[in-house]
Chains A and B, each alone.
Chain A
């Protein structure tokens, strides 16, 4: 079952340099590294929100350009680093993606809210009245509403408190297991990377400095750069 989902062949984009990387089915890849190292840029490439300046991205064995973009993006769900919500209510946001493809089902709302630990009476709340953490959770639920097979998460819990992080991580893990999702996640939290990931990619200055299996890679870094990063952490 280790079918290759993504394969990046010497990709260059803004800061990213010579990125070669394989991501297999049902892998949970954690990307970490200093800020400005190109983590968000890398994540955008998988969803085709941006394209490489050089190099090639294969998706399920075909060049990523061969897929129809709206369907590709629906299927490869991205949660942006900033939770940019649409007007007006939480419900409007959850419906947005499915409505684009005319497959919104009202009864799924409860499951979506459960994933992100929000009570049902939040549905009619104006998004402007939400806290940073709540926005982040709505943003995650909005992407999950599209039922993606591959999930790209850009620091999805950075604005949450420990209690919510724990609960959402648990729900995410359940979801990933039950739906056999493939996950690529950017996190600044190395403990979280160890809890959620089975593969790690360490980026620095736009290059992959080290990659390996988790939690081993963080506990026993091979390169000086990653050693420095984990000890300063």
Chain B
């Protein structure tokens, strides 16, 4: 290794974590416990995963990669599912969605020889795709719940006039989809301009030619863009059903939580 980040520098990063923590404290935003806990947990997880990865990277790719991907997808599913625990079938929908997305990007990468089937390439790239998809699904789910909350009356009115759940939630679904896709599209538009994307930064820091780094970044950016879009679409077009029962009635979310 030519370069390393010193442990001291890592410690300095804590200062950055403290900034939102401090703001939150003064404005009583109530985020503080969450932020502290998330950063401590995040740091521990990273070190732990470093150890596990070293072991798994030494396995044969055909064994190691599926194991790692399964673990990643399972964890991501549990995480995204938390945003909509009270709804039925959320777990299985997210799990299926993430598996479909992962198969889709793998086929793309390997089929067109963009990425080689080694843990060093497949795992971090899949990690970015699964991670972004997980966040997108969680956000869409949250957004959808709040849209269903604010539009409950209109949805009831539509149902009472004879609309099917699909018709009654049309506006709600459209708004969820928009809300989920807009930041994603914005991000794609400014890529490389406003923020030097993570992968490229990593590769350049690691001493790779910028032009090669850009190519990899393009692959990953477009993969992430597609996966996030698919995630938002899955949540919006599939999960609206979970807000209704067999008899085209709106389920009582508060009731489900009990």
Contacts and interface: CB of A to CB of B under 8 A. Distances in A.
B247 A97 contact: no
Nearest to A146: B161
Interface stretch (A30-38, A65-73, A171-179): A65-73
Interface of B is mostly: helix
Given A80-B153, A84-B153, A100 B247 contact: no
A49 B161 contact: no
Given A74-B162, A100-B162, A100-B167, A69 B153 contact: no
B171 A96 contact: no
Contacts of A49: 156, 159-160, 249
Nearest to A86: B154
Contacts of A73: 159-162
B122 interface: no
Contact of A84 (B156, B162, B164, B247): B156
Interface residues of B, number: 16
Contacts, number: 62
B176 to A, nearest CB: 16
A187 interface: no
B106 interface: no
Contacts of A100: 161-163, 167
Contacts of A134: none
Interface string B143-185: 0000000000110111111111001000100000000000000
A198 to B, nearest CB: 25
A143 B248 contact: no
Contacts of A80: 153, 156-157, 160
A84 B168 CA distance: 13
B153 A50 contact: no
Interface in A89-144: 96-97, 100-101, 139, 142-143
Given A97-B162, A100-B163, A86 B157 contact: yes
Contacts of B160: 47, 49, 73, 77-78, 80, 143
Nearest to B248: A69
Given A48-B247, A50-B249, A70-B248, A96 B156 contact: no
Contacts of A77: 160-161
A74 B162 CA distance: 5
Contacts of A69: 162, 247-248
29 contacts: A47-B160, A48-B247, A48-B248, A48-B249, A49-B159, A49-B249, A51-B247, A51-B249, A69-B248, A70-B248, A73-B161, A74-B162, A77-B160, A77-B161, A82-B153, A84-B154, A84-B157, A85-B154, A86-B154, A96-B158, A96-B161, A96-B163, A97-B161, A100-B161, A100-B163, A139-B157, A142-B157, A143-B161, A146-B161
Interface of A: 47-51, 65, 69-71, 73-74, 77-78, 80, 82, 84-87, 96-97, 100-101, 139, 142-143, 146
Given A100-B163, A100-B167, 19 more contacts: A48-B247, A48-B249, A49-B156, A49-B160, A50-B249, A70-B164, A70-B248, A73-B160, A80-B153, A80-B157, A84-B153, A84-B157, A85-B154, A96-B158, A96-B163, A97-B161, A97-B162, A100-B162, A101-B162
